[in-house]
Amino acid sequence: MTIVATTSDDTPSFEHVTVLAKEVVHALAPERGGLYLDVTAGGGGHAAAILDAAQNARVIAFDRDPSAVEAASRRLSRFGERALVVHAAFTGVADWLRSGELGPVQGLIADLGISSHQLADRERGMSFRTEGPLDMRMDPTAGETARELIHRVSQDELADIIYQLGEERRSRRVAACIKQALAAGELETTLDLRRAVVRAVGPRRVGGIDPATRTFQALRIAVNRELDELRLLLAALPQLLAPGGVAAIISFHSLEDRLVKRAFLERDLWERLNAKPIVADEDERSDNPRARSAKLRAARRVAEGAA
């Protein structure tokens, strides 16, 4: 885990529009002061909104993407010692806090999914719109790439990944075509992968989405162990938050949202602040199309014996 001090250098080329910022600040109510965690720092937008809303609040922001760590550090430099950015995934947050002897925090924000920067960076290989290597790692310094995963697993295992994480009903045909392309030496880039998917399901857009969308989502989730990381974060939340502390989590697809909803239904641990997820208003959806699929759920940590 790397700690990055904030700097005042030129802003790096990391573009990411913060989603549901005012709703997150409302849920966390940082005017109480104290320490807050942003476990998906991204470009630093949510952390900056929290710090702007409360002059006596501090934020520690975490991200597994080194580019995001750098960008957030630069954006938050104006807050001085009130902001700190750390290179770590969800699984490293609790250990980092313990190592610094920092107690439970007053609030936490997690903005799940991928950033606009990650999608736009062709070297990440997360988008089928441009040609790039079959990588898909959020942290390009660790773990196996999407191509390595495809090579490692069996065709049946690949089909299961695509079905379970991408909710692609034609996963058997997709997996077969991907493995055929790999065997033929025709699976090196993102566009190679898209061509393999199109051979399996055809070029027609279903429900307005590209035929490769579900497969790319599934492989990205698998490569980054996104659902496993989320489960570990949800399990750690009661220890991370002080009684009365608030967790605010933004999800972008049903797999994530179901996990968050289920966790917050534990009444001995959580008081839900919204029975239904909060979504972006019409103005935000118009300004930022990515916000259309964002769902915010927030819950307050119940004090022991209060439930």
pLDDT at 306: 56
What is the arithmetic mean of pLDDT over 219-232? 96
The model's confidence at residue 45, banded by pLDDT at 50, 70 and 90, is very high
Residue 125 within any structural domain of the chain: no
Chosen domain end from 189, 224, 259: 224
Closest CA to 118 of 144, 137, 100: 137
Do 81 and 177 share a domain, yes or no?
Answer: no
Q: Provide the percentage of residues in the chain whose pLDDT is more than 70.
A: 93
Domain of residue 36 covers 2-111+226-301
Do 171 and 78 share a domain, yes or no?
Answer: no
Do 71 and 98 share a domain, yes or no?
Answer: yes
Strands (E) across the chain are located at: 2-4, 34-38, 57-63, 83-87, 105-111, 241-251, 270-272, 295-301
CA distances from 71 to 17, 75, 78, 97, 110 (A): 13, 6, 13, 22, 17
Mean pLDDT is lowest, of 4-8, 42-46, 265-269, 291-295, for 4-8
Residue 167 within any structural domain of the chain: yes
Number of domains in the chain: 2
What is the arithmetic mean of pLDDT over 94-113? 89
Residue 306 within any structural domain of the chain: no
Do 41 and 96 share a domain, yes or no?
Answer: yes
Do 15 and 162 share a domain, yes or no?
Answer: no
Do 179 and 45 share a domain, yes or no?
Answer: no
pLDDT at 103: 78
pLDDT at 73: 97
Residue 122 within any structural domain of the chain: no
Do 87 and 142 share a domain, yes or no?
Answer: no
Do 212 and 147 share a domain, yes or no?
Answer: yes
Mean pLDDT is lowest, of 6-10, 114-118, 168-172, 201-205, for 6-10
Residue 216 within any structural domain of the chain: yes
Q: Provide the percentage of residues in the chain whose pLDDT is more than 90.
A: 77
Q: List the CATH number of the domain containing 152.
A: 1.10.150.170
CA distances from 288 to 20, 67, 282 (A): 10, 22, 10
Long-range contacts of the stretch 195-199 (C-beta < 8 A, 24+) = none
Residue 307 within any structural domain of the chain: no
pLDDT in tens, 4-28: 434 334 333 555 678 999 999 999 9
What is the arithmetic mean of pLDDT over 157-182? 97
Residue 84 within any structural domain of the chain: yes
* Strand partners of residue 35: 58
The model's confidence at residue 220, banded by pLDDT at 50, 70 and 90, is very high
Do 19 and 91 share a domain, yes or no?
Answer: yes
Task: Evaluate whether 92 touches 231 at the Cβ level (below 8 Å).
Answer: no
Do 241 and 216 share a domain, yes or no?
Answer: no
- Asked if residue 305 has pLDDT above 90, the reply is no
Do 248 and 106 share a domain, yes or no?
Answer: yes
Q: What tokens does 122 get?
A: 């062709």
Amino acid at 176: A
Mean pLDDT is lowest, of 108-117, 178-187, 213-222, 268-277, for 108-117
pLDDT at 143: 93
If one counts every other C-beta atom within 10 angstroms of the C-beta of residue 187, the result is 21
